[in-house]
Structure 1
Amino acid sequence: MKTVLTYGTFDLFHAGHIRLLKRARSLGDRLIVGCSTDEFNALKGKQSVFSYEDRALIVGACKFVDLVIPESSWQQKSDDIRKYDVDIFTIGDDWIGKFDHLSEETGCAVTYLTRTPDISTTDVKSAIQQLCDEKKRSILGAVDHLRQCVDRL
Protein backbone atom coordinates (compact mmCIF):
# COMPACT_ATOMS: atom_id res chain seq x y z
CA MET A 1 0.00 0.00 0.00
CA LYS A 2 1.45 3.39 -1.06
CA THR A 3 0.85 6.35 1.24
CA VAL A 4 0.92 9.89 -0.15
CA LEU A 5 1.26 13.05 1.98
CA THR A 6 0.58 16.65 1.06
CA TYR A 7 0.10 19.91 2.94
CA GLY A 8 -1.78 23.16 2.44
CA THR A 9 -3.93 25.83 3.99
CA PHE A 10 -7.04 24.94 1.94
CA ASP A 11 -8.87 28.18 2.68
CA LEU A 12 -11.90 28.95 0.49
CA PHE A 13 -11.86 25.38 -0.87
CA HIS A 14 -12.13 25.49 -4.68
CA ALA A 15 -11.70 23.41 -7.86
CA GLY A 16 -7.92 23.83 -7.78
CA HIS A 17 -7.82 22.18 -4.37
CA ILE A 18 -9.98 19.29 -5.61
CA ARG A 19 -7.76 18.75 -8.65
CA LEU A 20 -4.60 18.80 -6.51
CA LEU A 21 -6.04 16.30 -4.04
CA LYS A 22 -7.33 14.04 -6.84
CA ARG A 23 -3.91 13.99 -8.52
CA ALA A 24 -2.16 13.44 -5.18
CA ARG A 25 -4.47 10.52 -4.37
CA SER A 26 -3.85 8.98 -7.81
CA LEU A 27 -0.17 8.57 -6.86
CA GLY A 28 -0.99 6.01 -4.18
CA ASP A 29 -3.56 4.08 -2.19
CA ARG A 30 -3.91 6.41 0.79
CA LEU A 31 -3.79 10.22 0.97
CA ILE A 32 -2.92 12.08 4.14
CA VAL A 33 -3.38 15.86 4.11
CA GLY A 34 -1.67 18.21 6.52
CA CYS A 35 -3.87 21.27 6.95
CA SER A 36 -2.16 24.39 8.30
CA THR A 37 -3.36 25.45 11.73
CA ASP A 38 -4.42 29.03 12.38
CA GLU A 39 -1.33 29.55 14.55
CA PHE A 40 1.00 28.25 11.81
CA ASN A 41 -0.72 30.46 9.24
CA ALA A 42 -0.11 33.46 11.53
CA LEU A 43 3.61 32.58 11.61
CA LYS A 44 3.55 32.50 7.78
CA GLY A 45 1.81 35.90 7.68
CA LYS A 46 -1.44 34.38 6.41
CA GLN A 47 -4.96 34.78 7.71
CA SER A 48 -7.65 32.33 6.66
CA VAL A 49 -11.31 33.10 6.25
CA PHE A 50 -12.22 29.76 7.84
CA SER A 51 -10.82 28.32 11.06
CA TYR A 52 -8.49 25.32 11.07
CA GLU A 53 -11.32 23.16 12.40
CA ASP A 54 -13.63 24.13 9.53
CA ARG A 55 -10.89 23.78 6.86
CA ALA A 56 -9.90 20.35 8.22
CA LEU A 57 -13.56 19.27 8.18
CA ILE A 58 -13.98 20.44 4.56
CA VAL A 59 -10.77 18.75 3.38
CA GLY A 60 -11.66 15.56 5.27
CA ALA A 61 -15.02 15.41 3.51
CA CYS A 62 -13.27 15.17 0.13
CA LYS A 63 -13.52 11.61 -1.21
CA PHE A 64 -9.83 11.58 -2.19
CA VAL A 65 -8.64 12.21 1.39
CA ASP A 66 -8.16 9.41 3.90
CA LEU A 67 -6.79 11.38 6.85
CA VAL A 68 -6.35 15.04 7.81
CA ILE A 69 -3.63 16.03 10.28
CA PRO A 70 -2.75 19.47 11.65
CA GLU A 71 0.29 21.21 10.17
CA SER A 72 1.81 23.36 12.89
CA SER A 73 5.39 23.90 11.71
CA TRP A 74 7.69 23.68 8.69
CA GLN A 75 9.85 21.13 10.52
CA GLN A 76 7.16 18.49 11.09
CA LYS A 77 7.19 17.12 7.54
CA SER A 78 10.09 14.70 8.11
CA ASP A 79 8.50 13.45 11.33
CA ASP A 80 5.11 12.99 9.65
CA ILE A 81 6.70 11.08 6.76
CA ARG A 82 8.26 8.67 9.23
CA LYS A 83 5.24 8.50 11.55
CA TYR A 84 2.77 7.66 8.76
CA ASP A 85 5.23 5.54 6.70
CA VAL A 86 4.81 7.88 3.70
CA ASP A 87 6.06 6.71 0.29
CA ILE A 88 5.41 9.92 -1.66
CA PHE A 89 5.44 13.54 -0.51
CA THR A 90 3.71 15.83 -2.98
CA ILE A 91 2.86 19.51 -3.12
CA GLY A 92 2.09 22.19 -5.72
CA ASP A 93 4.77 23.18 -8.20
CA ASP A 94 4.94 26.68 -6.75
CA TRP A 95 7.20 24.95 -4.16
CA ILE A 96 9.60 23.31 -6.66
CA GLY A 97 12.94 22.56 -5.05
CA LYS A 98 11.89 23.63 -1.54
CA PHE A 99 11.28 20.10 -0.26
CA ASP A 100 13.82 18.03 -2.20
CA HIS A 101 15.72 17.47 1.07
CA LEU A 102 12.86 15.30 2.34
CA SER A 103 13.84 12.57 -0.10
CA GLU A 104 17.35 12.36 1.35
CA GLU A 105 16.16 12.69 4.97
CA THR A 106 13.37 10.14 4.82
CA GLY A 107 13.76 8.08 1.65
CA CYS A 108 10.33 9.02 0.32
CA ALA A 109 9.82 10.28 -3.22
CA VAL A 110 9.13 14.01 -3.60
CA THR A 111 6.76 15.06 -6.39
CA TYR A 112 5.62 18.55 -7.40
CA LEU A 113 2.18 18.77 -9.01
CA THR A 114 1.24 21.43 -11.55
CA ARG A 115 -1.18 23.99 -10.16
CA THR A 116 -4.57 24.42 -11.77
CA PRO A 117 -4.30 27.50 -14.00
CA ASP A 118 -6.51 30.53 -13.41
CA ILE A 119 -7.60 29.61 -9.87
CA SER A 120 -6.11 30.23 -6.47
CA THR A 121 -7.38 31.25 -3.07
CA THR A 122 -5.67 34.60 -3.55
CA ASP A 123 -7.62 35.07 -6.82
CA VAL A 124 -10.89 34.13 -5.10
CA LYS A 125 -10.21 36.59 -2.25
CA SER A 126 -9.39 39.33 -4.80
CA ALA A 127 -12.60 38.66 -6.73
CA ILE A 128 -14.63 38.83 -3.51
CA GLN A 129 -12.90 42.09 -2.54
CA GLN A 130 -13.61 43.55 -5.99
CA LEU A 131 -17.30 42.65 -5.68
CA CYS A 132 -17.42 44.22 -2.21
CA ASP A 133 -15.71 47.37 -3.48
CA GLU A 134 -18.16 47.64 -6.39
CA LYS A 135 -21.13 47.16 -4.05
CA LYS A 136 -19.73 49.76 -1.66
CA ARG A 137 -19.33 52.29 -4.52
CA SER A 138 -22.88 51.56 -5.63
CA ILE A 139 -24.27 52.10 -2.13
CA LEU A 140 -22.25 55.28 -1.63
CA GLY A 141 -23.55 56.54 -5.00
CA ALA A 142 -27.14 55.83 -3.93
CA VAL A 143 -26.58 57.57 -0.57
CA ASP A 144 -25.11 60.59 -2.36
CA HIS A 145 -28.09 60.70 -4.71
CA LEU A 146 -30.51 60.55 -1.76
CA ARG A 147 -28.58 63.31 -0.01
CA GLN A 148 -28.92 65.52 -3.11
CA CYS A 149 -32.65 64.79 -3.24
CA VAL A 150 -33.04 65.72 0.42
CA ASP A 151 -31.03 68.91 -0.08
CA ARG A 152 -33.37 69.98 -2.89
CA LEU A 153 -36.36 69.65 -0.59
Structure 2
Amino acid sequence: MKKIITFGTFDVFHVGHVNILERAKALGDYLIVGVSSDQLNMSKKGRFPIYSEQDRVRIISALTCVDEVFIEESLELKGEYISRFGADMLVMGDDWKAKFDHYKDLCEVTYLTRTPSISTTEIIEVVKSAPTR
Protein backbone atom coordinates (compact mmCIF):
# COMPACT_ATOMS: atom_id res chain seq x y z
CA MET A 1 0.00 0.00 0.00
CA LYS A 2 1.39 3.40 -1.02
CA LYS A 3 0.81 6.08 1.64
CA ILE A 4 0.63 9.74 0.66
CA ILE A 5 0.93 12.59 3.16
CA THR A 6 0.09 16.25 2.63
CA PHE A 7 -0.34 19.32 4.78
CA GLY A 8 -2.37 22.50 4.72
CA THR A 9 -4.53 24.93 6.64
CA PHE A 10 -7.68 24.19 4.58
CA ASP A 11 -9.44 27.30 5.88
CA VAL A 12 -12.49 28.60 3.98
CA PHE A 13 -12.61 25.31 2.07
CA HIS A 14 -12.80 25.68 -1.72
CA VAL A 15 -12.48 23.73 -4.98
CA GLY A 16 -8.69 24.17 -5.03
CA HIS A 17 -8.52 22.17 -1.79
CA VAL A 18 -10.69 19.41 -3.28
CA ASN A 19 -8.55 19.32 -6.42
CA ILE A 20 -5.22 18.96 -4.65
CA LEU A 21 -6.52 16.35 -2.19
CA GLU A 22 -8.11 14.23 -4.93
CA ARG A 23 -4.95 14.48 -7.05
CA ALA A 24 -2.78 13.55 -4.05
CA LYS A 25 -4.96 10.50 -3.32
CA ALA A 26 -4.70 9.42 -6.98
CA LEU A 27 -0.91 9.07 -6.48
CA GLY A 28 -1.34 6.30 -3.91
CA ASP A 29 -3.70 4.13 -1.92
CA TYR A 30 -4.00 5.92 1.42
CA LEU A 31 -4.10 9.69 2.00
CA ILE A 32 -3.00 11.22 5.31
CA VAL A 33 -3.65 14.94 5.81
CA GLY A 34 -1.98 17.18 8.37
CA VAL A 35 -4.21 20.16 9.13
CA SER A 36 -2.29 23.17 10.47
CA SER A 37 -3.16 24.03 14.06
CA ASP A 38 -4.62 27.44 14.79
CA GLN A 39 -1.33 28.43 16.46
CA LEU A 40 0.77 27.23 13.50
CA ASN A 41 -1.41 29.25 11.13
CA MET A 42 -0.92 32.34 13.31
CA SER A 43 2.86 31.90 13.18
CA LYS A 44 2.85 31.27 9.39
CA LYS A 45 0.34 33.85 8.23
CA GLY A 46 0.03 36.32 11.09
CA ARG A 47 -3.66 35.57 11.64
CA PHE A 48 -5.83 32.85 13.06
CA PRO A 49 -7.90 30.83 10.59
CA ILE A 50 -11.55 31.73 10.05
CA TYR A 51 -12.56 28.19 11.07
CA SER A 52 -11.18 26.46 14.16
CA GLU A 53 -8.77 23.55 13.81
CA GLN A 54 -11.52 21.20 15.06
CA ASP A 55 -13.91 22.38 12.33
CA ARG A 56 -11.20 22.15 9.65
CA VAL A 57 -10.28 18.62 10.77
CA ARG A 58 -13.97 17.66 10.62
CA ILE A 59 -14.33 19.06 7.07
CA ILE A 60 -11.22 17.25 5.79
CA SER A 61 -12.21 14.01 7.56
CA ALA A 62 -15.57 14.04 5.76
CA LEU A 63 -13.95 13.81 2.31
CA THR A 64 -14.03 10.37 0.71
CA CYS A 65 -10.53 10.79 -0.71
CA VAL A 66 -9.02 11.31 2.77
CA ASP A 67 -8.19 8.28 4.91
CA GLU A 68 -6.62 9.85 8.01
CA VAL A 69 -6.33 13.37 9.47
CA PHE A 70 -4.17 14.82 12.24
CA ILE A 71 -3.28 18.28 13.53
CA GLU A 72 0.09 19.61 12.37
CA GLU A 73 1.64 21.51 15.27
CA SER A 74 4.91 22.65 13.64
CA LEU A 75 6.45 23.00 10.18
CA GLU A 76 9.71 21.68 11.66
CA LEU A 77 8.05 18.33 12.51
CA LYS A 78 7.22 17.35 8.90
CA GLY A 79 10.00 14.74 8.87
CA GLU A 80 8.71 13.25 12.11
CA TYR A 81 5.15 13.13 10.71
CA ILE A 82 6.40 11.45 7.51
CA SER A 83 8.16 8.78 9.59
CA ARG A 84 5.37 8.37 12.15
CA PHE A 85 2.73 7.71 9.48
CA GLY A 86 5.05 5.64 7.25
CA ALA A 87 4.44 7.90 4.26
CA ASP A 88 5.92 6.88 0.91
CA MET A 89 5.32 10.29 -0.68
CA LEU A 90 4.95 13.89 0.48
CA VAL A 91 2.65 15.93 -1.78
CA MET A 92 2.50 19.73 -1.59
CA GLY A 93 1.23 22.55 -3.78
CA ASP A 94 3.77 24.04 -6.18
CA ASP A 95 3.79 27.28 -4.18
CA TRP A 96 6.12 25.26 -1.90
CA LYS A 97 8.30 24.05 -4.83
CA ALA A 98 11.75 22.84 -3.65
CA LYS A 99 11.07 23.88 -0.02
CA PHE A 100 10.64 20.28 1.12
CA ASP A 101 13.21 18.56 -1.10
CA HIS A 102 15.33 17.83 1.99
CA TYR A 103 12.75 15.15 2.90
CA LYS A 104 13.66 13.11 -0.20
CA ASP A 105 15.80 10.90 2.05
CA LEU A 106 12.59 9.91 3.91
CA CYS A 107 10.15 9.62 1.01
CA GLU A 108 9.37 10.75 -2.51
CA VAL A 109 8.48 14.46 -2.71
CA THR A 110 6.00 15.74 -5.30
CA TYR A 111 4.67 19.25 -5.94
CA LEU A 112 1.29 19.61 -7.64
CA THR A 113 0.15 22.64 -9.62
CA ARG A 114 -2.37 24.68 -7.70
CA THR A 115 -5.82 25.46 -9.08
CA PRO A 116 -5.41 28.83 -10.82
CA SER A 117 -7.09 32.00 -9.55
CA ILE A 118 -8.25 30.70 -6.18
CA SER A 119 -6.81 30.90 -2.71
CA THR A 120 -8.22 31.26 0.77
CA THR A 121 -6.33 34.52 1.25
CA GLU A 122 -7.86 35.97 -1.94
CA ILE A 123 -11.36 34.84 -0.89
CA ILE A 124 -10.95 36.49 2.52
CA GLU A 125 -9.77 39.74 0.89
CA VAL A 126 -12.75 39.77 -1.49
CA VAL A 127 -15.18 39.23 1.39
CA LYS A 128 -13.52 41.92 3.53
CA SER A 129 -13.63 44.47 0.72
CA ALA A 130 -17.22 43.73 -0.36
CA PRO A 131 -19.57 46.65 0.24
CA THR A 132 -21.94 46.19 3.15
CA ARG A 133 -25.66 46.55 2.61
Please say whether Structure 1 and Structure 2 have the same fold, judged by a TM-score greater than 0.5. Answer: yes
Q: Partner residue of 1:11?
A: 11
Who wins on radius of gyration, i.e. which is larger?
1
Q: Partner residue of 2:113?
A: 114
Counterpart secondary structure, 1:75: helix
* Amino acid corresponding to residue 53 of structure 2 in structure 1: Y
In the TM superposition, residue 46 of structure 1 has moved relative to its aligned partner by 3.2
Output the CA distance in 2 between the equivalents of 1:24 and 1:33: 10
Q: Partner residue of 2:35?
A: 35
In the TM superposition, residue 10 of structure 1 has moved relative to its aligned partner by 0.3
Contact 2:39-2:48 within 8 A present in 1 as well: no
In the TM superposition, residue 123 of structure 1 has moved relative to its aligned partner by 1.4
Answering whether residue 76 of structure 2 is matched by residue 75 of structure 1, we say: yes
In the TM superposition, residue 83 of structure 1 has moved relative to its aligned partner by 1.0
In the TM superposition, residue 7 of structure 1 has moved relative to its aligned partner by 0.2
Output the CA distance in 1 between the equivalents of 2:43 and 2:116: 27
Question: By percentage of residues, which structure has more helix?
Answer: 1
Answering whether residue 59 of structure 2 is matched by residue 58 of structure 1, we say: yes
Report Cα offsets for 1:66-91 as digits up to 9, x if no partner.
01111000121111111111001010
Output the CA distance in 2 between the equivalents of 1:40 and 1:122: 16
Moved over 3 A (4+): none
Q: Among all aligned residue pairs of Structure 1 and Structure 2, give the percentage whose two residues are the same amino acid.
A: 45
Counterpart secondary structure, 2:125: helix
- Which structure is richer in relative contact order (CA contacts within 8 A, separation 6 or more)? 2
Aligned length in residues: 132
Output the CA distance in 2 between the equivalents of 1:60 and 1:46: 24
Structure 1 unaligned runs (5+)? 139-153
Output the CA distance in 1 between the equivalents of 2:67 and 2:112: 19
Output the CA distance in 2 between the equivalents of 1:56 and 1:93: 23
Output the CA distance in 2 between the equivalents of 1:128 and 1:62: 25
In the TM superposition, residue 130 of structure 1 has moved relative to its aligned partner by 2.2
- Relative to the length of structure 2, the TM-score reads 0.96
Indicate the larger mover: 43-52 or 91-100: 43-52
* Amino acid corresponding to residue 86 of structure 2 in structure 1: D
Kindly report the root-mean-square deviation, in angstroms, between the aligned alpha carbons of the 2 structures. Answer: 0.9
Q: Partner residue of 2:93?
A: 92
Output the CA distance in 2 between the equivalents of 1:62 and 1:14: 13
Output the CA distance in 2 between the equivalents of 1:101 and 1:10: 24
In the TM superposition, residue 40 of structure 1 has moved relative to its aligned partner by 1.1
Output the CA distance in 2 between the equivalents of 1:64 and 1:46: 29
* Amino acid corresponding to residue 82 of structure 1 in structure 2: S
